[in-house]
Every structure is written in structure tokens, then in C-alpha cells.
Structure 1
Amino acid sequence: MQSFDLVVIGSGPAGRRAAIQAAKLEKKVLVVEKGSRVGGVSVHTGTIPSKTLRETALNLTGWRERGFYGRAYRVKQEISADDLRRRLLITLDHEVDVLEHQFARNRVQQMRGTATFVDANTIDVTKDDGEVLRIQSRSTLLAVGTKPYRPSHIPFDNSSIIDSDEILEIKELPRSMIVIGAGVIGIEYATIFSALDTQVTVVEPRDSMLDFIDKEIVEDFTYQLRDRNMKLIFGQTVESVEKLDGKARVILKNGRCLTAEMVLFAAGRVGATDKLNLAACGLEADNRGRLKVNPETFQTAVPSIYAAGDVVGFPSLASTSMEQGRIAARHAVGAPAQDPPQFFPYGIYAVPEISTCGLTEEEVIQRGIPYECGIAHFRETSRGHIMGLDTGMLKMIFSLKTRRLLGVHIVGEGATELVHIGQAVLNLKGTLEYFVENTFNYPTLAEAYKIAGLDAWNRMGELKVEKVEPRAAE
């Protein structure tokens, strides 16, 4: 029986970063991956595929140039599912090759198979041919990720009624689509297919979507979606989904009946913990298969077992999962680890993009912090005009007492790139003066920071800053 300092179950963002971090600390590390190739959900069905699909759709449709050349403009007149998949396969091969090289360079051992606990420090790995290998581990990191939630009353058929993993395997682009669930995944795919000129309807039982995003940004985003004829139905639950002569019918609780060529069910995901035999090691997952951990160390209730990534719940981002995995690995092998930064960026790769970092206006109000906002529209920048942008906005929130930046929120082209400027200022405790007094490249979309800063400056005036220590909330 082989013995390891750290066994990592899963090779997604959290797992691979954890394994490499432990290996760099000269620990003996094993990664167990049940898939045929490393990378986990992020590489094969989640982050990389959806973002590749988005970029391909925007390029082939000429979406970014329609502001100049009209809505009928196309780079490729007839776009097929194979066109989208071709670029996806090239990207996935590259990602797997890079990851395999990283494991080899850092001497991380790999094993293909399904892992199950025998006890807290013993794991059986069942290979595809049925062979079972038993391994011993001083510490274990669970980075198994999630899989689509598939309720029994939805008649999935991998054709007209599908989940968010199966959407990558569709044979033809649908002319109409109903998306059930207005979470991040549902909205990303809904807007991508809308950009491909699919008639899209989104059904969401809550009265709004993306509740963790600044409300003003969501309102602007919602306006853009409805302006391009996407139908958004809030506050309505789905009573049933039926197959209908090669199409699908969705019946809502209020009696309304919707019909489309394809239904995408994207109402949540569940942790892929069902096959781990958690009871044998003393752990129990919640009703969505997620594990509870210490948010600072990512240690579970069992001292030798850690968990990171989507399996521990929000924020379920590849970027934060990587950092969680790295911190967890350091704690697992007894190495010192610093606390994660207070603010991290959240990116939603919809069309248009949304990205946010820090406090929303609603959170600032809830905490009772006196504040002011500055807003810039991308059409106000020369670069925005050059690019033909008539939408997109950047919003910053500042403390009136300390003038410190409290939050930055962006919707529009390049939002997930632009947000990092605000993230740096937030974590370095920067103030309004940074944006007003510094020079930004011209013409760039980043110039929106200067415009929004000046907008806030004009509203705030040259107030005297109190010489006090800012509260933790600020």
C-alpha cells in the first residue's frame, strides 16, 4: 500500500493548484481523477468550454462590430454547432497539455479511477478495469467539484431537454430555447445563444436574478437583454416539462405554456460527493452535496480532511477555487499560509460581461456607511466610440468619511478584465484621489475609471477627510 503526504481527489482548479503547491513544498502528492483526462469540470464541461463557446459565438456572429455595421452583419452567415465545437476541442487539448506538463514538472503523481474512503486516512481507488488500489494519506483534499442538478420530474433526453453539461454536445443550434434558472450558468448560456440569434426565454422562480450583484448593474444588464428581445419571466415556477414532437413544452404554475426547440435546465448544481463514501471517514454532505469547512483553513470536521472549490459552495469560481486549494494544501501539510485577500473579483461571462469587486450599494447602505457613487458609461470614452459601444457602464462607490473605494461594479465589454484595476485599489485601501490624479492610457476603456472618479469627485466636493481609523466595513 502506497503512502502520501497529501492525496487530492479531483484535478479541477482547486485540486491542481493544491497538488502543485504541496509538491513545491517537497511533499509526496497524489492526484486521483475519475475522468479520462485531467482538468475536472472546469476544463471539460464548465469554465473553459463555456467561455470558449462565448468567444467563438461573438467572433463568428460579428457581435462586437454590429454597432457600426448593423444587426444583420455576420462574419459567417451559417453558423453550426460543429463550428462552435471545433474551437472548443483545440482549447481543451491545450489546457490538458499545460496541466499535464505542470504535474510532470512538479513531480505530482496521478492515478485514474474513482476514490472512496475506507477511513479518514485510507482511500480505495477503483480503476476502469475494476482493479482496486488502496492508498494511505496523512491528509486528503476533496476537490471533486459539482455536477448539474437533475430533478427526477424533468424528462432529460440529451436532445430537446438538456442540462448545462449536455449543451456542449448539441448537434444543431436551436432556433428557440427556454432556459430554466437565471443563475450565473443559466444567464451565461442564455445570452450566448441569444447572440447566436436563438430566440431565448428565461424562467426564474425568484423575483429577480443575480441578487449578489449591485442592483443598478443588474437593472442595466436586464434592460440590455430585453432590448434585444430576450424574454425574462421572473416570479414563476415550472410546473412540468414535456416532450412535444421533437420540441419541448414548459408549463408554469400560473398556467402559462411555453414551447421551444430546446429546454436548458440550469437550476443549480450539486457537489459530486455521492460516491466518496463519506460516512466511512466521518463526514456528511448537505442536501446539495456540499461540504462545510473552516473558511480560513478549508479544514472539514475531520482534522485530516480538507475541501476546496465548488464543493464548498459560494462563490464557486475557478479563480477563488485555485486560491482555496493553495491555502488548503499549505494547512494540510503544516506550512504557514496567509489569509486570503478581503476582496476578490467576481466575473459573469454573459453577453455583456458583468464583473464586480467589493461592496454593493445595497451592502453599503445596510452597514450604515455614508457614501457617494461615481458612474461612467463606455460611450463616454473615445475607445468605446471607436469600438462602436453604445452600452456598458462602470460604477464605483466611495466612503464619504475616508474617501476610500468600497466597491467597483462593471457591466459591458471587457468588464472581467477592467475590474482588476478596482480590485487592486480596494485591497491596497486606495482612495478617490487615485482615480482623479492618475493618468490612464488614451484611448482605452480603462479611462472610464477616471470619468467615474471625476463624477464622484464632483458630487462629493473637496470634503475634509477625517483622521480616524476606518471601520472594518470600509
Structure 2
Amino acid sequence: MPRKKEVVSGNFVRYDAVILGSGPAGEGAAMKLAKSGKRVAIVDIREQLGGNCAHVGTIPSKALRQTVSSIIRYQRDPMFQKVGEWKKFTMKQVLSHAHRVIQQQVATHTRFYDRNNIDVFYGRAYIQDQNTVLVFTPEGIKESIIFEQLVIATGSRPYQPQGLDFKHKRVFDSDKILDLDYPIHKIIIYGAGVIGCEYASIFIGLNHKVDLINTQHKLLSYLDDEIADALSYHLREQGVLIRHNEQIDHLETHDDYVVLHLQSGKKIKADAILWCNGRSGNTDGLGLENVGLKPNGRGQLAVNEKYQTEVENIYAAGDVVGWPSLASAAYDQGRCAGANMSGEENVKPVTDIPTGIYTIPEISCFGKTEQQLTEEKIPYEVGQSSFRHLARAQITGDTVGELKILFHRDTLEILGIHCFGNNASEIIHIGQAVMQSPNNSLKYFMETTFNYPTMAEAYRVAALNGLNRLF
């Protein structure tokens, strides 16, 4: 069993390892270290565990998305067409289910820490030197902790540029939007990255008018072109107005509306604006200067493949180290850091990560895109399955979307899988498992019997479609 804290002279306590932040990265590191026999403590600025992921990020936003998806499903079914009161709901009312989920998550993770004898300190952490952390509360210093190793897993927050008044009741970022407590008819979303696209599909699903301002030339350009185009088409079909290659000039705020002035001369009036243009690492005020660490302009720390910073006994993981800034990857990064800190050998860094974008419908992909394979001059072929042809999709009504398999023409090795449609983030893992197996081949999908009707059947359909292109 992991050993508890060691009390030393004065008000100091000693641990083998201290983790700053209880989100996925912090939890992954804490659990790995505790199970390795280390004395472990975790410090979190909130009064509840779970980090930004549980309280203002992944969990509430995805719970909100699920509620909106259910509303859309009801509206699509003729049996429920008379259900229209949802149009009067505020964001806070729609999020009532999310708050229950958050508390369930907090309770679950609290049990994890208890079972592994990990001490939890609530307060603001300040790194005094290379072996000491102070924990502050509003009343002053709560505890002084001596450590041998440290993990910084403090996460990130929405980037707030100067010149925008985020205290104004009609100016939101992706954290503050969860507290929207008045009805709106039209919203401007500035920034068309993952978060911007997710909220565009949520608000259009709530029957609001949406102007999506994209500073780039297309949506999510790192995706396979066909998948990005499908998302763009679907959002426009639902009523989202997408404006590409635009930059803010200034924002005009009033008591009951805002006006966004763009550098192109356009003026857009709406009930509110949601700023979704980037995130910043939560490293300010940590005392990093006391140990010689300097984050970049976005508050992110540089680490090596062991998730070790420039200071030998200090590691970092999760959003605070930048790419890919996903909860799934953060947990594995934390575990990887913990494994290296415990002296394990041949620990692989987190690299092969599926993309999960929770628009309505979802996007998920793993492996290379057509653009990449073309640039690398790899002879590939494409197998496709349209959801509208699948019996399960016809039954559920989720007929928008497709599964796309990219494979080597000669060896039939699967090179990439791209999915747009309901439950894409679940469907992708079937292909991921095959791609990472020793027998990675398109033949797996042709020789495997799938339950019928299921969405997984899309793999067999796509594989046969691709095979037919070879002859």
C-alpha cells in the first residue's frame, strides 16, 4: 500500500511526489505514482476534484451536447413535433443534467484518491523552490509541502485577448458560456476551431441564429478534406453562417446586444458573442520563476519525451504542455510522467491519439489523411460507407455521415480511418484497434461477422467498397 504523508519539523509535510491539478493529467500521474508505492499528494485550486475537465470543460459541454442532441432527435420524430417548450430554455436550464453528472464525476474520482491513500490539499499552489510547495487559501498559507518530485498538471483556460470586456454580461468565453442565464436569438462565435464548431452545432440545435467567424480559410484544416467539407456543409445546411478569413477589429457592447466590427469592414449584430479563439496554460502565479522555468506566450511548458521539464525533478502533462490538449491524451501523459518518475524503463510517450470532435454529429479520425498520403506518394485506395444506407442509421434516424477507410493498394494495410456521424467517437475505436494490431489489414473487416443491424457494420461495407475499387 502507498505510504501516507511524513510530518517533519514545524508545519511542513513531506511526500515523494506532489501533483498540481486534479484533472485527467494530474489524476493519471497520481494513480500511477501511488500504485508504485510513492507517498503522493495532490493540490487543486477548486474545492472539488476533477479539474477543468469535470467542472467547465469536457463533462459539462458534452452533457450539454447530449441534451441538445436529444432535443433534435425529438423534433425530428413526428410523434414529438408538438414538444416545443425547449425553445424558451436558457443555457442554465438546459445544463441542469450536466450539473448532476459533474457531481457524480467528483464523487467517483474522490473515491479513487481515497482508495489509493492520496492526500488532497485544496488551495492555490505556489512553488517556493525546487523541493517546496506552499498551498494558499483565502485565509493565508494552509500548508507547506516538501517533495522530491513534482508534476505540473494545472490545465488551461480560454484565451482572453486585451480589448474585450469578459465581465460584460453579453461577452462570453467557453467557460463563462455555461452560465448563460437569459434567452438569446442570435449569437456570434468567434473562432472556428474544435470548441467553436462544437458550440456552433449546439446553438443551431437550440434554434438560435449563429454567425461562426473563422480566422482561417476553411474549417478544421488538419482534418481529412472530405470530412472537413462534410462538417462545413452540414453546419450551413442547419443554418450556421460561416465567415472565413476574417479578423476582429473591435467589439461594440451594449446592455442588450453586441456589434462585432471585422477588419474587412463587416458589422455583425447579435444578442451575445462567444470567444473561442485559443487557450492558455494555467501557469501564471505558480512561482515558476523560482525554479528557473519560463512558459511560452500561451503559458505552456516545454517537456521532453519523458514529460520532464528543464528542471530534473519537475514534470508536466496535459493541456499545460500544449498539443494535443485532449482529456484522453492528458490522462495517458500523466501516467507516462508517473511511470518515468517511478523509474520504469522503455516508457513510450503518448503519440497515437484519435481525434474526437463533439459537433452534432461527431467527427473522429485516426491515422493519415488523403492529403498526407498524396504528399508522401503512398499508393492508397479509399473505401466508403454512407450512413444513410445502413439499416441501424435508418432505424435511429441518424443518417447523416460516413465512414472512410484509407488503405494501401498493394498490402491492404489500413492507413487511416475517418468518421463523420453520430457516435463517430465510439465507432473509430474498432478501426484503431485493428490498425494497431500486428495483423493490420482490410481483410479483417471482410472476414469478420458484425451484428446486424449496427453502425459497426459500416466497416464491412466500406471495406468491400474499397476492395471493389482495386479491380
SS at structure 2 position matched to 1:460: coil
Please say if 1:318 is aligned against 2:360.
no
String of CA shifts for 1:67-120, please: whole Å, max 9, x gaps: 543995647544333432321111111000001100000101111111111222
CA distance in 1, matches of 2:218, 2:173: 22
Alignment of 1:211-230 (within 5 A): 211-230=221-240
- With over 3 angstroms needed to count, the CA separation of the structure-2 counterparts of 1:337 and 1:66, relative to structure 1, is farther
Determine the structure 1 residue equivalent to 2:418. 409
Output the amino acid matched with 1:336: E
Q: Structure 1 residues 107, 270: CA separation in 2 closer, same or farther (over 3 Å shift)? A: same
Deviation, structure 1 residue 331: 0.8
Question: Alignment RMSD, CA only?
Answer: 1.6
Alpha-carbon distance in 1 for matches of 2:342, 2:398:
50
Q: CA deviation at 1:344?
A: 2.2
The 5 Å alignment of 1:298-313 reads 298-313=307-322
Q: Any idea what the Cα deviations from partners look like across 1:248-283, whole Å, max 9, x if unmatched?
A: 110111111001001001101100000111111111
**Native 8 Å contact 1:6 1:333 kept in 2:** no
Which residue number corresponds to residue 288 of structure 2?
278
Give the residue type in structure 1 aligned to 2:312: P
Number of the residue aligned with 1:468:
none
2:47 corresponds in structure 1 to: 36
Structure 1 residue 367: Cα displacement:
2.0
8 A Cα contact 2:126 2:287, kept in partner: yes
Of residues 21, 25, 32, the one that matches 1:14 is: 25
Of residues 196-205 and 240-249 in structure 1, the stretch that sits farther from structure 2 once superposed is 240-249
Helix, strand or coil at the partner of 1:131:
strand
Q: Tell me the distance in 1 between the aligned counterparts of 2:108 and 2:101.
A: 11
Contact 1:327 1:337 in 2 (8 A): no
| Alignment-mate amino acid for residue 122 of structure 2 | R
Q: Which moved more, 1:330-339 or 1:31-40?
A: 330-339
Aligned-partner Cα distance in 2 for 1:326–1:41:
18
**Is residue 55 from structure 1 mapped to residue 57 from structure 2 by the alignment?**
no
CA distance in 2, matches of 1:276, 1:341: 26
Task: Give the Cα–Cα distance (whole angstroms) in 2 for the partners of residues 243 and 127 of structure 1.
Answer: 35
Counterpart check, 1:367 vs 2:407: no
Q: 2-side partners of 1:338 and 1:76: how far apart?
A: 53
1:151 is paired with a residue whose SS is: coil
1:185 aligns with 2:195: yes
- 2:344 corresponds, among 303, 324, 335, to 335
How far apart, in 2, do the equivalents of 1:257 and 1:447 lie?
A: 47
Change (3 A) 1:27 1:418: same
Letter in 1 for 2:340: H
Q: How far apart, in 1, do the equivalents of 2:428 and 2:151 lie?
A: 31
Displacement of 1:229 after TM fit? 1.1
Tell me which residue corresponds to 2:5. Answer: none
Amino acid at match of 1:351: I
Aligned to 1:120: 130
Range moving further from structure 2, 240-249 or 102-111: 240-249
**Which residue is equivalent to 2:3?**
none
CA distance in 1, matches of 2:449, 2:111: 40
Q: Secondary structure at the match of 1:125?
A: strand
Partners of 1:339 and 1:159 lie apart in 2 by: 46
Give SS of 1:126's match.
Answer: strand
**Structure 1 residue 29: Cα displacement:** 0.3
Structure 1 residue 174: deviation in Å?
A: 1.6
Q: Separation in 1 of the partners of 2:104 and 2:142? A: 31
The residue identity in structure 2 corresponding to 1:88 is A
Residue 37 of structure 2 aligns to a residue whose secondary structure is coil
Q: Counterpart in 2 of 1:24?
A: 35
Please give the per-residue CA displacement for 1:198-236, whole angstroms capped at 9, x wherever unaligned.
111100111112122111100011100101111000101
CA offsets 1:145-195 (integer angstroms, 9 cap, x no match): 001111111122352111111011111242110000001111111111110
Alignment correspondent of 1:231: 241
| Structure 1: gaps of 5 or more residues | 462-474
* Aligned residue number for residue 7 of structure 2: none
Q: Aligned partner of 2:165: which letter?
A: P
Q: In 2, are the aligned partners of 1:139 and 1:333 still within 8 Å (CA)?
A: no
Number of aligned pairs? Answer: 458
Tell whether 2:260 aligns with 1:250: yes
What is the identity, as a one-letter code, of the residue corresponding to 1:236? E
1:450 aligns with 2:465: no
Amino acid at match of 2:42: V
Matches within 5 A, 1:350-361: 350-361=359-370
- 2:392 aligned partner: 383
- For the 8 Å contact 1:9–1:144, the answer to whether it is kept is yes
Name 1:472's counterpart in structure 2. Answer: none
CA apart distance, 1:26: 1.2
- What are the superposed Cα offsets for residues 312-363 of structure 1, whole Å, 9 maximum, x if unpaired? 1111111110000001011112233531565221101111110111111111
1:161 aligns with 2:168: no
For residues 25 and 396 of structure 2, what CA distance do their matches in structure 1 show?
Answer: 36
Q: 1:191 to 1:71 in 2, by over 3 A?
A: farther
Give the superposition deviation at 1:2: 1.4
User: For the Cα contact (< 8 Å) 1:65–1:388, is it kept in 2?
Assistant: no
Farther off after superposition, 422-431 or 137-146: 422-431
1:348 corresponding residue in structure 2: 357
1:86-165 → structure 2 map (5 Å cutoff):
86-165=96-175
Aligned amino acid, residue 377 of structure 1: S
Letter in 1 for 2:22: S
Structure 1 residues 71 and 225, CA gap change in structure 2 (3 angstroms): farther
**Cα distance in structure 2, aligned partners of 1:72 and 1:264:** 30
Superposition deviation, residue 132 in structure 1: 4.6
Equivalent-residue separation in structure 1 for 2:78 and 2:372 (angstroms): 41
> Which amino acid letter does the alignment assign opposite residue 348 of structure 2?
D
C-alpha separation in 1, matches of 2:306 and 2:410:
34
Matched, 1:440 2:447: no
Structure 2 residue identity aligned to 1:405? I
Measured after TM superposition, the shift of residue 423 of structure 1 is 0.7
